[in-house]
Chains A and B, each alone.
Chain A
Amino acid sequence: MSVSFNQISKVFADGTVGLDHLDLKFDKGEFIVLLGPSGSGKTTACRILAGLEEATSGSVKVDNLEVTSLPPRERNMGMVFQNYALYGHKTVYENIAYPLRIRKIDKGNIDNRVKAIAKVLQIEDFLDRRPSQLSGGQAQRVAVARAMVWSPDICLMDEPLSNLDALLRLKTRTELKRLHGDLGQTFVFVTHDQEEAMTLGTRIAVLNQGKLAQFDTPRQVYHEPATRFVAEFIGRPAMNIIEGEIKDCVFKSGPFELAVKGQPDGPVALGVRPEQIVLKEVSTDESVGFNLDVLELVEPDALLFVNKGDTSLVVRVMHDIGDLDRGSEVHLEFPDHARHFFEISDGRRRS
């Protein structure tokens, strides 16, 4: 089974463009993450897939069947909402049972399935409670249970972890991954948190201002970002981007000079991830000297904020750095594999 967005555009009533000709296709069993900052269109795309919003143009297909004009209940998709949207006047049991009752499943069956999924999500003890008596994490799991109890083909999740505190978020993340592994359903997960995307997704669709920037596995998105936006969005701390110019195989930005190979002359943006910059104890042929401005020790890592002229960089070092102080000079090497070149004009990656 495959799901595809074909040239999906969405323009809102006030003129803002939510999605701009989105093309996306994925298969059954994948854990697809729609990742992007607010306003990127990720939630809009999810809601159009669900049928809660209408696309202005374009079509959505499931297994080559047009679903664009079908109401949500005919699309065989479940949804977990950011605020859980539980029915406050029903018990947890009734909340989960509701989609089954709607589909007129017989009572005995309902009971089995509700209890089964409650067990998987570890909420069997709460079945008699009401939503107002649940904690955030428990409510979230009830929402997941309700969305999945009737075994829809696709499970949509709109920032389900955003309202949980940090610790719970990590724990639930792992549980969701396990759930996906066990049930084998197709998950479509919306988030603005790149770490969530990287850990959960089989493939990540990075969206920016309504357009798809890149659709790849986490590894590829990390190592080969297709645009400057993706490069800067993925990874924490964010990739360093230095704007400068290449002339005669030398990249220059202010006093910062670096020998480069195989790159044409012209303006360019050079990207290097903080964790891939190598810190040397003494200066070498390859190294460039920087001034250390701020040092943040986050054991066992260290974050060095360095500058040279107008160029500022963040370096993440995962070993002991010895005695370095504010104002010291540090020697940095930029290995070939760590260098990414992007066009200044449109941010596209240079091959």
Chain B
Amino acid sequence: MRTNRIIERVLDHGVAPLLLVPSVVLLFVILLGPFLFMVWTGFTDLHYALPNRDGAFVGFDNFRRLMQDDPIFWHSFWLTMKFVFGVVLVEFAFGLGLALLIFHYIKNHRFILTILLVPMMLAPIAVGLIWKLLLSGDFGMFTYYLRAIGLADLQTSILGNPSLVMPAIMLIDVWQWTPFVTLVILAGLLSLPKEPFEAAIMDGARPLQIFKDVTLPLLRPIIALVLLLRGIDAFKEFDKVFILTGGGPGISTEMLSIYTYRINFRDWDLGYGAVCAFMVYLVVLIMCSVFYKAVYWNEGRSKMAGKAAA
């Protein structure tokens, strides 16, 4: 009985810290711990495949190597950036178009949305598997039809062709994630207040003007959100590339995560690998800050007026 009351008293006064602290501690331990360990490892020469490399301190050697001595890292970095810009742009264009189409012409959203959910909710590794089969040079369904309409020849195996494989992977990503962009923008469109649109109609604006002057500005925070979300996730891309090409042929699809994986878990060059991993984290962190500021700082400002009583 008495302990109950004590617990209640503690809960009453100390509730906030009590409820918050466990999760913060958990995350600090599971995340910050490894993160700091990764940073530390970057300063060592740790290597699991070479002898006598037990993690001696080497200062900034690894960083120097990354900056000056590793063209493959930078190839990977720019490949990834191209990938990110390419897919985000295309997914945005298609996603916006599809969302507008559905918004204006389809009454029963539920059904369409259900179908659209499929590509984005499949495990990414499964997505890779699906397209590996479809694009197989020997019995891929997709390859067959491409050959049938003359876009490919009997020699072509898309995934084996260095100049075709990256565009192919980008198109697969578009297939996988356009529904996500569509869904978010559609949700945004559905949540927009009707009145500014009616006001614009009464002001004399035509549909295209309304889209430019009212719809887009109102959608801006949501567009920013979805662009950044996709950008960050695209940058981290691993699963489907891993199973589709493993980074090949050669290094033509070796995106940054794949490269980092290779250094750490194939070459076992863990000291250098940690620096690569750190760079990936750094870029994502920067994108995160931009994301946070753009979305949550703007939220208060873009509200359409419907001011309540003074």
Please list the residues of chain A having a beta carbon within 8 angstroms of any beta carbon in chain B.
50-52, 71-73, 77-79, 81, 83-89, 98-99, 102-103, 130-132, 134-140, 146-147, 150, 163-165, 168
Of B159-167, B177-185, B195-203, the one contacting chain A is B195-203
Instruction: Tell me whether A87 and B310 are in contact (CB under 8 A).
Output: no
Instruction: Tell me whether B209 and A136 are in contact (CB under 8 A).
Output: no
Instruction: Tell me whether A132 and B204 are in contact (CB under 8 A).
Output: no
Q: In the docked arrangement, what's the CA distance between A147 and B204, Å? A: 11
Instruction: Tell me whether A85 and B310 are in contact (CB under 8 A).
Output: no
Q: List 14 A-B residue pairs with CB atoms under 8 Å apart, sorted by A's residue number.
A: A77-B202, A83-B193, A83-B306, A84-B195, A84-B307, A85-B305, A86-B305, A87-B196, A87-B214, A88-B196, A88-B218, A132-B307, A136-B310, A163-B308
Q: In the docked arrangement, what's the CA distance between A139 and B305, Å? A: 8
Instruction: Tell me whether A73 and B201 are in contact (CB under 8 A).
Output: yes
Instruction: Tell me whether B306 and A50 are in contact (CB under 8 A).
Output: no
Among B201, B202, B213, B304, the residue within 8 A (CB) of A86 is B304
> Taking the nearest CB of chain B, how far is it from the CB of A133, in angstroms?
9
Given A81-B198, A85-B196, CB of A73 within 8 Å of CB of B205: yes
> Taking the nearest CB of chain B, how far is it from the CB of A155, in angstroms?
10
Cβ of B217 under 8 Å from chain A: yes
Instruction: Tell me whether A134 and B198 are in contact (CB under 8 A).
Output: no
Instruction: Tell me whether A136 and B202 are in contact (CB under 8 A).
Output: no
> Taking the nearest CB of chain A, how far is it from the CB of B310, in angstroms?
4
Which residues in A have their C-beta under 8 angstroms from that of B7?
none
The A-B contact count (CB < 8 A) is 106
Given A102-B209, A164-B310, CB of A88 within 8 Å of CB of B304: yes
Instruction: Tell me whether B203 and A99 are in contact (CB under 8 A).
Output: yes
Among A52, A73, A84, A164, the residue within 8 A (CB) of B305 is A84
Q: In the docked arrangement, what's the CA distance between A99 and B209, Å? A: 12
Instruction: Tell me whether A98 and B302 are in contact (CB under 8 A).
Output: no
Cβ of B30 under 8 Å from chain A: no
Instruction: Tell me whether B307 and A134 are in contact (CB under 8 A).
Output: yes
Which residues in A have their C-beta under 8 angstroms from that of B203?
73, 98-99, 102, 146
Among B214, B300, B301, B309, the residue within 8 A (CB) of A163 is B309
Cβ of B13 under 8 Å from chain A: no
Instruction: Tell me whether A87 and B213 are in contact (CB under 8 A).
Output: yes
Cβ of B104 under 8 Å from chain A: no
Cβ of B303 under 8 Å from chain A: yes
Q: In the docked arrangement, what's the CA distance between A34 and B205, Å? A: 27
Closest to B303 in A: A88
> Taking the nearest CB of chain A, how far is it from the CB of B79, in angstroms?
37
* Contact bitstring B18-42, A, C-beta under 8 A = 1, else 0: 0000000000000000000000000
Instruction: Tell me whether A89 and B217 are in contact (CB under 8 A).
Output: yes
Among A51, A85, A132, A140, the residue within 8 A (CB) of B199 is A85
Instruction: Tell me whether A132 and B202 are in contact (CB under 8 A).
Output: no
* Contact bitstring B185-228, A, C-beta under 8 A = 1, else 0: 00000000101101111111110010001100110100000000
Instruction: Tell me whether B309 and A89 are in contact (CB under 8 A).
Output: no
> Taking the nearest CB of chain B, how far is it from the CB of A69, in angstroms?
15
> Taking the nearest CB of chain A, how far is it from the CB of B213, in angstroms?
7
Q: In the docked arrangement, what's the CA distance between A224 and B304, Å? A: 45
Which residues in B have their C-beta under 8 angstroms from that of A85?
193, 195-196, 198-199, 304-306
Instruction: Tell me whether B201 and A131 are in contact (CB under 8 A).
Output: no
Instruction: Tell me whether A84 and B218 are in contact (CB under 8 A).
Output: no
Closest to B300 in A: A132
Closest to B202 in A: A79
Q: In the docked arrangement, what's the CA distance between A86 and B203, Å? A: 11
